[in-house]
Structure 1
């Protein structure tokens, strides 16, 4: 065998070595890229027995992963979603993950329907005396090629579902959060897409100047962040123990990505290894749910389990503009009357 090997020409052995080396280097690079894409991981796992958490959009993706982990730690998790069948299936999964002290229950809510939000909040108030964690996780995203659509009250649909619905739900549930011990929290799942928000967002809240769906989506995600920032400032001012945060979960392989138009499918397929799994995408949500107060900055925006810098239109980041935004969206949520500018 040794003689046969030595009879191979030099180019064959050298090419083989180069190829093998390329494979090793490629695998190492791919592994490194995958680890980088995975991002930060939550390291806090306190017992949550006796705690109650409500998570919107908990029937799938990062919402479901968040719900399962909180239940595993002993929390009673209210799985909120629009589809009764999907919510029921998710409750079974969360219940299966729960420790002896944890559990799950369903809550049907359509965030694009004010009456549905009010009914859902009333049901929670009837069945629970407090709420420790509110994770405003649900969201919709329109991709390239989508036309502008309005929800039942005349709001741009992404704005109504992602912002108005959560503002109303938070307002209705705030009394229950105030009754919780420890450090009750409101956590808004936003996105790095807030950087695509329009500098004129406050002049076109309903995105009537529809050019790119991603701009309208970015407006809604910036809205989630402004909501958390202004709400937290109010809570601090009145001496409440409730705190509010917002976060970017990362680019996650969820239904939002999988429902991209056909011509983007190839790019999504190529990028699979660089997309976070739903479990990885849930890590920053879990960090904000579980980290001690001493490790968090109230009102701040987080990414990869660390405080991050705000992006997007800088002029919208003042405390005054955030409060103006929250006051206006609360008024819209209460009345159901859209405003185009504030």
Structure 2
């Protein structure tokens, strides 16, 4: 197959270009593709010729993103929009059923969508703490339901987007839903560590069961997206199936998110969302990517820079914890993977 490269436009003094192999004929599903890192991941995959499904919670925003992708490139692969709410397992199942009915193998799944540091404890429709339920369990269930289509592809990949915050994460199997105590950032950190444990365990299962799936993880470093701002907005009003906790907790969480938001707006010490998407694209398309690999910015402390191999936190190498979290996730979601 001929190889085509798609140059990444430089964004600021730390801009870097990566060569993306021709993706023609491949079907990619990218969650959270209407904005930020997910949008640029989807855009550059489409520019490389992939057929891309923008898996988004808000259909109107997804259609607007698809229009921007089509308008900003002379030729792209087909771009479509499908709605899925990762905080609702019924929605995840419905989304997967549409793809299963179509029957087209899924060559690439990018588990990108997420929520960050919601100031007060909220739950998903299924009763899970919102960050753990969306960032980890929603993607766990989606991957499991799409497994037949992934296995049907010739060289399938699953890329799960984590965060530098995973280094501070701690998994408490007795308090996965933060019912006993809730703090915004520790809950987020735990969900991002869960992403890494999931990516590692998926690769081990793929190797053991000979599924042929390459599972990798990526993180965007310190990138300027609206993720920091979207979390606090969820705390301003309680929606059905979600509850908030004390006003004091909300105030402290809001102050933490405001400080993080100010930091991310600084051009020095952070990078654009487009640059933040490069590690995901490397993991999704790179010829030298290895199963179980982890990729992020190659600069000091992995904050900014050209995409490179990232340092896996020690907690993410805990095989026993990965297996126990996997079992718990199957039980919580009701989605099982073939043993």
Q: Could you tell me the TM-score, scaled by structure 1's length?
A: 0.79
Structure 1 unpaired stretches of 5+: 1-33, 336-342
1:67-78 to 2 correspondences below 5 Å: 67-78=42-53
Say yes or no: does 1:66 pair with 2:41.
Answer: yes
Unaligned runs of 5+ in 2: 1-11, 233-253, 298-306
Task: Within 5 Å, give how 1:199-214 maps onto structure 2.
Answer: 201-214=172-185
**Match status 1:303 vs 2:304:** no
8 Å contact 1:48–1:70 — kept in the other structure? Answer: yes
User: Which has the greater radius of gyration?
Assistant: 1
Q: Is 1:172 aligned to residue 145 of structure 2?
A: yes
Structure 1 residue 255 displacement after superposition? 0.8
Corresponding residue for 1:110?
A: 85
1:194 equivalent to 2:166? Answer: yes
Q: 1:157 aligns with which of 130, 134, 143?
A: 130
2:216 and 2:293 in contact (8 A); partners too: yes
Q: Please show how residues 259-298 of structure 1 align to structure 2 within 5 Å.
A: 259=230, 261=254, 263-264=258-259, 267-268=262-263, 271-292=266-287, 295-298=288-291
- What's the CA shift string for 1:203-246, capped at 9, x where partnerless? 32112243521100011001111111001100011222211011
What TM-score comes out, normalization by structure 2 length?
0.80
> In the alignment, what sits opposite 2:327?
327
Structure 2 Cα separation of the partners of residues 43 and 266 of structure 1 = 28
Structure-2 separation of matches of 1:232 and 1:99 = 37
Matches within 5 A, 1:83-98: 83-97=58-72
Shift of 1:128: 4.2
**Aligned partners of 1:129 and 1:79: how far apart in 2?**
16
Pair 1:127–1:96, CA change in 2 (3 A): farther
Which residue does 1:23 correspond to in 2?
A: none
Equivalent residue number for residue 202 of structure 2: 231
Task: Provide the residue aligned with 2:115 in structure 1.
Answer: 140
CA offsets 1:68-98 (integer angstroms, 9 cap, x no match) = 1011111100001101110111111223345
| Contact 1:94–1:103 (8 Å) recurs in 2 | no
Give the SS at the match of 1:105.
strand
3-state secondary structure, aligned to 2:224: coil
Question: Are the structure 2 counterparts of residues 239 and 178 from structure 1 closer, same or farther at C-alpha, using a change threshold of 3 Å?
Answer: same
| Contact 1:74 1:99 (8 Å CA) reproduced | no
Measured in 2, the distance between the counterparts of 1:73 and 1:140 equals 28
Contact 1:71 1:102 in 2 (8 A): yes
* Higher helix proportion (structure 1 or 2): 1
- Return the alpha-carbon distance in structure 2 between the equivalents of residues 51 and 149 of structure 1: 37
Contact (CA 8 Å) 2:228, 2:261: kept in 1 or not? no
Two-structure CA RMSD over aligned residues (Å): 2.3
Please list, as runs of the form range in 1=range in 2, the aligned pairs for 1:18-37 lying within 5 A after superposition.
35=13
Stretches of 4+ aligned residues off by more than 4 angstroms: 97-101
Partners of 2:223 and 2:264 within 8 A in 1:
no
